[in-house]
């Protein structure tokens, strides 16, 4: 059994826009969501910039009982709830009621449990006051908290899974949901991922000296994918969710179909051939991209847009080289390529899901968002693909097929192929 899988709902909590309308506007106009964070300067970090959504926690009262809302305020789980609820409503379903949707599952990913909640647990336990923690703290600290809250809010009765694959988490979650529907195991899936970069997670990355540190006073210029002046990535927070659905089901209820997922692959480079815990094996990336195209039944020449991982590190030129090899396309015939990270930074586990929403919006609205901060494209990248393939302004044009990939610590890769539904 092989079913066609389409996207019928989306929700997003991004550093440059909460909700699809604001996010779309920011994408189309190249609006950055990166800001100076005084707290990071006070903590003596090298990087003082981050992407934090302008999130109104009070709106969660629309979805949650008061006691639950109080316990989750300030938690990464709130981002996930907002994104998933918006995607569910966007797909034409309603919240509330006692119905269990037995034919609908959920895959929602993240990287670590809420460290603020764990800090509270550690503090209370070490001071011999564990009894004062209350009965709800475990819900915030367990790694599957977001998935549990989302599936409970929506009443989902199918496969309920939390995945974690570092920066490949979000795209891998979408891929898993796609596979369950494709093979007839579920009719519908709510998929996505969330991330909240608190000082403890931020500090751990800052200690690796891989974060941007030369643009602390000009934060909107700090994330510079494919640029010669790129000097590290900027951590971001947020969440995104998508409702995936069997095409037959979507058509039967006359749902909006934003795009179709043609195929995808997740793999690993095995931390061999140049791959390591923190660097990808180029052969693994090429095999992942080619595998996704094979699964989708498309050729490299069919791809109109590459929505890259492209983090604004030295790995950018390696990634572009892998795309050129996998698609067998060279300078003068290379597809357009962009990186949403130029506007929102690197949202880690949430990166893939937020960037997939961006890819789908470009298909739905037929445009290519700009790469901001690309005044000085890396000369080695220009030599490979040509500066014309890296737009610095929005381009309105026909976009039929988008290849989207993410590559994570642990040498884990994930790539999906999206298409305009016809």
Per-residue pLDDT tens listing for the chain (422 residues): 689 999 999 999 999 999 999 999 999 999 999 999 999 999 999 999 999 999 998 889 888 888 778 777 667 799 999 999 999 999 999 998 899 999 999 999 998 877 777 888 888 899 999 888 877 778 777 889 999 999 999 999 999 999 999 999 999 999 999 999 999 999 999 999 999 988 988 999 999 999 999 999 999 999 999 999 999 999 999 999 999 999 999 999 999 999 999 999 999 999 999 999 999 999 999 999 999 999 999 999 999 999 999 999 999 999 999 999 999 999 999 999 999 999 999 999 999 999 999 999 999 999 999 999 999 999 999 999 999 999 999 999 999 999 999 999 999 999 999 999 98
Rounded Cα distance, 145 and 160, in Å:
11
User: Which residue spans of the chain are classified as CATH 3.40.47.10?
Assistant: 5-259, 264-419
* H-state helical runs in 196-340: 199-206, 247-252, 282-296, 315-327
Residue 344, phi then psi, degrees to nearest 5: -120, 0
- Distance, CA of 158 to CA of 379 (rounded, Å): 49
Give the whole-angstrom CA distance, residue 51 versus residue 219. Answer: 9
Question: Any idea which residue has 């011999």 for tokens?
Answer: 128
Q: Considering the domain 5-259 in this protein, what is its CATH number? A: 3.40.47.10
Strand extents, DSSP E, 123-258: 160-161, 188-195, 238-246
- Say how far apart CA 34 and CA 15 lie, in whole Å: 7
Residue 32 CB-density burial (10 A; 0-12 exposed, 13-18 middle, 19+ buried): buried
Distance CA 30, CA 209 (A): 27
Fold of the 264-419 domain: Peroxisomal Thiolase; Chain A, domain 1 (3.40.47)
DSSP reduced 3-state for 253: coil
User: Cα(28)–Cα(305) distance, rounded to whole angstroms?
Assistant: 15
**Exposed e or buried b for every residue in 95-130, given b needs 16+ CB within 10 A?**
eeeeeebeebbbbbbbbbbbbbbeebbeebeeeeee
Interatomic CA distance for residues 416 and 418, integer angstroms: 7
By three-state DSSP, how is residue 420 classified? coil
Distance CA 196, CA 150 (A): 16
Q: What is the DSSP letter of 183?
A: T
Phi, psi of 243 (to 5 degrees): -100, 120
Polymer length in residues for the chain: 422
* DSSP symbol at 334: P
b/e per residue, 232-266, with b = 16+ CB within 10 A? bbbbbbbbbbbbbbbbebbeeeebebbbbbbbbbb
Nearest to 174 by CA among 266, 250, 90: 266
How many other CB atoms sit within 10 Å of the CB of residue 357?
Answer: 29
Helix boundaries (H) for 155-262: 169-182, 199-206, 247-252
Please list, residue by residue across 300-338, b when 16 or more beta carbons sit within 10 angstroms of its beta carbon and e when fewer do: bebbbbbbbbbbbbebbbbbbbbbbbbbebeeeebbbbb
Strand 367-368 to 395-396 pairing:
antiparallel
Largest CA distance in the chain: 67
Angle at 26 between CA 22 and CA 29, to 5 degrees: 140
Residues ≥6 apart with Cβ < 8 Å to 170: 109, 192, 193, 240, 349, 350, 351, 352, 353, 354, 355, 356, 406
Instruction: Give the pairing type, strands 188-195 and 238-246.
Output: antiparallel
Q: Tokens 């040498």 correspond to what residue?
A: 411
Per-residue model confidence (pLDDT) at position 112: 81
Torsion sign, CA atoms 9, 14, 20, 24: negative
Residue with tokens 């004062």, as numbered in its chain: 132
């Amino acid at each position: 059994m092989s079913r066609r899988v389409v996207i019928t709902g989306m929700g997003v909590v991004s550093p440059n826009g909460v909700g699809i309308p604001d996010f779309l506007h920011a994408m189309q106009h190249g609006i950055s969501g990166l800001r100076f964070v005084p707290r990071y300067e006070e903590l003596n970090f090298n990087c003082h910039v981050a992407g934090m959504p302008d999130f109104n926690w009070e709106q969660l009262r629309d979805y949650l009982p008061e006691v639950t809302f109080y316990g989750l305020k300030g938690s990464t789980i709130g981002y996930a709830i907002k994104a998933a609820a918006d995607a569910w409503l966007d797909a034409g379903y309603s919240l509330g009621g006692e119905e269990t949707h037995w034919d609908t599952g959920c895959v929602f990913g993240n990287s670590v449990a809420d460290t603020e909640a764990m800090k509270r647990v550690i503090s209370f336990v070490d001071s011999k006051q564990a009894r004062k923690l209350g009965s709800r703290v475990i819900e915030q600290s367990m790694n599957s908290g977001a998935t549990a809250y989302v599936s409970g809010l929506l009443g989902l009765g199918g496969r309920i899974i939390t995945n974690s694959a570092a920066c490949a988490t979000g795209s891998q979650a979408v891929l898993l949901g796609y596979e369950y529907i494709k093979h007839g195991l579920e009719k519908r899936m709510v998929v996505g991922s969330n991330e909240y970069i608190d000082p403890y997670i931020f500090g751990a990355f800052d200690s690796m000296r891989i974060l941007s540190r030369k643009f602390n006073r000009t934060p909107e210029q700090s994330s510079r994918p494919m640029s010669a002046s790129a000097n590290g990535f900027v951590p971001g927070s947020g969440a995104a969710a998508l409702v995936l659905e069997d095409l037959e089901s979507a058509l039967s209820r006359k749902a909006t179909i934003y795009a179709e997922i043609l195929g995808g692959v997740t793999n690993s480079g095995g931390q061999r051939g140049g791959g390591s815990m923190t660097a990808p094996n180029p052969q693994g990336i090429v095999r992942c991209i080619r595998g996704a195209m094979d699964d989708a039944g498309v050729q490299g020449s069919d791809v109109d847009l590459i929505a890259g991982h492209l983090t604004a590190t030295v790995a950018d030129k390696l990634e572009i080289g892998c795309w050129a090899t996998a698609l067998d396309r060279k300078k003068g015939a290379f597809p357009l390529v962009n990186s949403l990270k130029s506007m929102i930074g690197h949202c880690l586990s949430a990166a893939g899901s937020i960037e997939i929403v961006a890819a789908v919006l470009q298909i739905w609205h037929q445009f290519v968002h700009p790469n901001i901060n690309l005044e000085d494209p890396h000369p080695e990248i220009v030599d490979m693909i040509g500066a014309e393939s890296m737009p610095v302004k929005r381009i309105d044009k026909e976009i039929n097929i988008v290849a989207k990939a993410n590559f994570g610590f642990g040498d884990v890769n994930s790539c999906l192929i999206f298409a305009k539904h016809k």
